[in-house]
A and B are shown apart, each in its own frame.
Chain A
Amino acid sequence: MAIPLKYNLRNLFVRKVSTTMTVLSIGLVVAVFVALMALGSGIEKTFTSSGDPRNLIVLRKSSQVEGNSAVTKAEFQIVRYLPGIEPAPHGAPLISPEVIVLLNIARRDGTGMSNVTVRGVGQDAFALRPYLRIVRGRVFRPGFREMIVSNNVANRFAGLRLDGRVRFGKGDWNIVGLFEAGGTSFDSEIWTDNDELVNEFDRQGYSSILIRSVDPKAQLELIKQIGADRRMQLEALSEREYYNKQTLAGAGIKALATLMTLFMGVGACFAAMNTMYAAVSNRTREIGTLRALGFSRGSILLSFLIEAVLLALVGGGIGSLLALSVNGISTGSANFVTFTEVTYNFRVTFPLVVSALALSGFLGVLGGFFPARAAAKKPIIDALRSA
């Protein structure tokens, strides 16, 4: 036999001030948790969504990231004619030799300088990444010192705007277009022609090669072949796997989120405990009456526990709503794996909200258990007699 939920709900309304304050303190914990986790998962999402499973990226052995890698033009010629690469509409293999140069530039928000990835690409680069599209302006023409900039980068860095000029390498470059790349890490980049960039920075060759394999079987074969070829010091891995390795960039912020939640959670949990203890001691007579009516100790315990959880869940709901206001806000930070800025959005996802509610429920159980047990343990006679 259980005590109706309505009883608990009404009790929450009796002590409005206490309830509100407790609900709000739990709400704040949840809001901080959700906002920080949304930041962490925003970074992770950027990398997990980057990379096409059909694409292979070819790097110099043990270079880890494109920016450190170097591929000679001779090596490019060998890779280009390996079997298993999908043909492009123009008949030749679908392949883009790419070169990475970092551009150190100031952020608009005054928080200092950071490195933006400038990617020199081959003509197949757009076919290999079909989700990238020009939203304003046009594509760069090779040989004219032109570049295209992602919308996110243009918004985040000073002096990068459509039709603007930027000092880079041996002189100024023109920005002729803005692009978007579907929330992938290419949304943090600037693109231009590969050979032009190679010349500008006196490089001996490219940084990496991107190829499309005809099918998964050919892909495995290509990985094996490239790794085993003694003429080259290269290795190939799937583009998806390459970007997945960088999700580590979100680990720091997630650790911070856990730390905050832990400490703030303890504080809020104690506050809930205080409120519930006060509720129990205020209702001593009521508890006695309920017991006299035949409600068991178990029902009393459950009833108070439910009340605490309700209190916490309302807090969790409010906290999630508060945190929802940051959803979609664009920000950025350094990815210390590649030493470059990655731009991303806060992402308040459904599973995140569910885990936030679970967190608040847990805080409720923690804060409510001891007071509820104290309520259940009260002897009937004493409880009825108390003032």
Chain B
Amino acid sequence: MKYWKIIWRNVTRNRRRTLLTILSIAFSLLLVTFLRTLVITLGQPNPAPASVRRVAVRRLTSLQERMPESYRQKLERVPHVQLVTAIDWFGGIYREPSNFFANFALDHDRIFDIFPEITLNEGAKQAWMSQRTAAICGAKLAERFGWKVGDRITLLGSIYPVDLDFTLVGIYTNVADERSFYFRRDYLEEMLGRPGKAGVWYLLCDSADSVPAVISTVDAMFRNTDAETLSETERAFEATFTQMIGNVKGLVLSISSVVVFMILLITGNTMAMNIRERSHEIAVLKSLGFQNESLVGMLLGESTIIAMSGGLIGVLGAKLLFMTVDLSELSMGFIRSFQVELPTIALGLTIALLVGLASGAFPALSVTRLTVSDGLRRIG
């Protein structure tokens, strides 16, 4: 790079302009990074190793409808199924509807086998097994409401016509989620007068390979009954909730392309202004014998430096921003963890590089077209 010095001089010639351009690219690429991370995050699978062995079974009609308790024995007899638990979304309200968090009733004697990632100390486990009104919650949920072990918590039933009083016996940790509240299903059943219905069945299969067979066996078993089922891998089941939002990918892709086009315009404008103001100088360089290729190279070098600086600031800014702002907390756990990952950083920088090269293209064309006499004559 023998022209390095002249490129650098050109970059720093109009510092204010360079800085403003870099900052507008930075802000825009921060946005692109955020959007890209959002799309990736929403599709993130459950990181727990046992997740690939779990199958969720629900009513074909919709999650709102429930299945007979008698399904349990039938499900337990399906080959490759090791354990079965019922899970009911209680939808309870803690004081105010705005205090929303996920709360589930499930079989207390199976939970730690089917969800081994839920870790709880032995004392808490014993209390959970012996007290009917026991409840456990994730560390982040406990932190949100300042709950301690031993606290009495009341949830008002929104779906079920019962309000339930619980004793918090433990606070669990879990790589996948620490914002849920679990309690014993036998307590809910008792309070409801044992309707004998379950919302979702969770099955633990002996291996990930047997999951497809289990899914087809289960759905075939209940076909043409009064309560047909839809079985899915846990991953697919969880994905249905984000799918409900709709075409997030399409929205994000269209906004991102608009943003990229905008930075292209902004950088292009800066480069066009730079070249216009320097036409005299360029003519002098040409008359000294500089070839078009070298002049264009210098120009592209300049635009790339500007765009890449903006890109770096934007992408790293996004990384830092989301290390401090916890979007997972803000979305109440709907977003599992929001972190800008390496491929996203690479994508942002690639966009910056391409913008740098593309934005120099039109000004470069005018440089090659400029004749020495025109350039020397032109003012401003």
Q: Which A residues fall within an 8 A CB radius of B?
A: 17-18, 21-22, 24-25, 28-29, 31-32, 36, 60, 62-64, 67-68, 70, 101-104, 107, 109, 111-115, 167-170, 201-202, 233, 259-260, 263-264, 266-271, 273-275, 277-278, 282, 331-334, 336, 339, 341, 387
User: A274 and B20: CB pair below 8 A?
Assistant: yes
User: A64 and B161: CB pair below 8 A?
Assistant: no
Q: Which of B21, B246, B249, B269 contacts A331, CB < 8 Å? A: B246
Across-interface contacts of A28 in B (CB, < 8 A): 258-259, 261-262, 265
Q: How far, in whole Å, are A143 and B288 apart by their CA atoms in the complex?
A: 94
Binary contact readout B298-314 vs A (1 if CB under 8 angstroms, 0 otherwise): 00000000000000000
Across-interface contacts of B259 in A (CB, < 8 A): 28, 32, 264
Tell me whether chain B's interface is mostly helix, strand or loop, or mixed: helix
Residue of chain A at shortest CB distance from B31: A263
Q: Which of B228, B246, B262 contacts A29, CB < 8 Å? A: B262
Of A64, A268, A270, the most chain B CB neighbours within 10 A belong to A270
User: A270 and B244: CB pair below 8 A?
Assistant: no
Query: What total of A-B pairs shows CB separation below 8 Å?
Result: 160
User: A32 and B255: CB pair below 8 A?
Assistant: yes
Across-interface contacts of A341 in B (CB, < 8 A): 244
Across-interface contacts of B63 in A (CB, < 8 A): 102, 104, 115, 339
Across-interface contacts of B273 in A (CB, < 8 A): 18, 274-275, 278
Q: How far, in whole Å, are A204 and B200 apart by their CA atoms in the complex?
A: 21
The 6 closest A-B pairs by CB, nearest first: A112-B243, A334-B244, A267-B24, A102-B62, A21-B269, A104-B62
Q: Which of A24, A332, A334 contacts B265, CB < 8 Å? A: A24
Q: Which of B93, B161, B228, B261 contacts A233, CB < 8 Å? A: B161
Across-interface contacts of B228 in A (CB, < 8 A): 167
User: B17 and A274: CB pair below 8 A?
Assistant: yes
Across-interface contacts of B64 in A (CB, < 8 A): 67, 101-102, 115, 339
Q: How far, in whole Å, are A334 and B159 apart by their CA atoms in the complex?
A: 19
The reply to whether the CB of B270 lies closer than 8 angstroms to some CB of chain A is: yes
User: A267 and B158: CB pair below 8 A?
Assistant: no
Q: How far, in whole Å, are A365 and B82 apart by their CA atoms in the complex?
A: 68
User: B240 and A113: CB pair below 8 A?
Assistant: yes
CB-CB under 8 A for A268 and B24, given A28-B261, A62-B93, A101-B65: yes
| A-B contact list, 21 entries, CB within 8 Å | A28-B258, A32-B255, A36-B255, A62-B157, A64-B93, A68-B159, A102-B63, A104-B61, A109-B247, A113-B243, A115-B62, A115-B64, A267-B28, A267-B262, A267-B266, A270-B21, A270-B266, A274-B20, A274-B273, A275-B269, A333-B245
Q: How far, in whole Å, are A335 and B142 apart by their CA atoms in the complex?
A: 27
User: B244 and A115: CB pair below 8 A?
Assistant: yes
User: A101 and B23: CB pair below 8 A?
Assistant: no
Q: How far, in whole Å, are A201 and B227 apart by their CA atoms in the complex?
A: 9
Q: How far, in whole Å, are A107 and B263 apart by their CA atoms in the complex?
A: 35
Of A168, A169, A233, the most chain B CB neighbours within 10 A belong to A169
Across-interface contacts of B262 in A (CB, < 8 A): 24-25, 28-29, 264, 267-268
Residue of chain A at shortest CB distance from B32: A263
User: B61 and A103: CB pair below 8 A?
Assistant: yes
Across-interface contacts of B93 in A (CB, < 8 A): 62, 64
Of B93, B159, B226, B262, the most chain A CB neighbours within 10 A belong to B262
Across-interface contacts of B20 in A (CB, < 8 A): 270-271, 273-274
User: B158 and A68: CB pair below 8 A?
Assistant: yes
Residue of chain B at shortest CB distance from A342: B246
Measured CB to CB, the closest approach of chain A to B2, in angstroms, equals 30
Across-interface contacts of B60 in A (CB, < 8 A): 104, 167
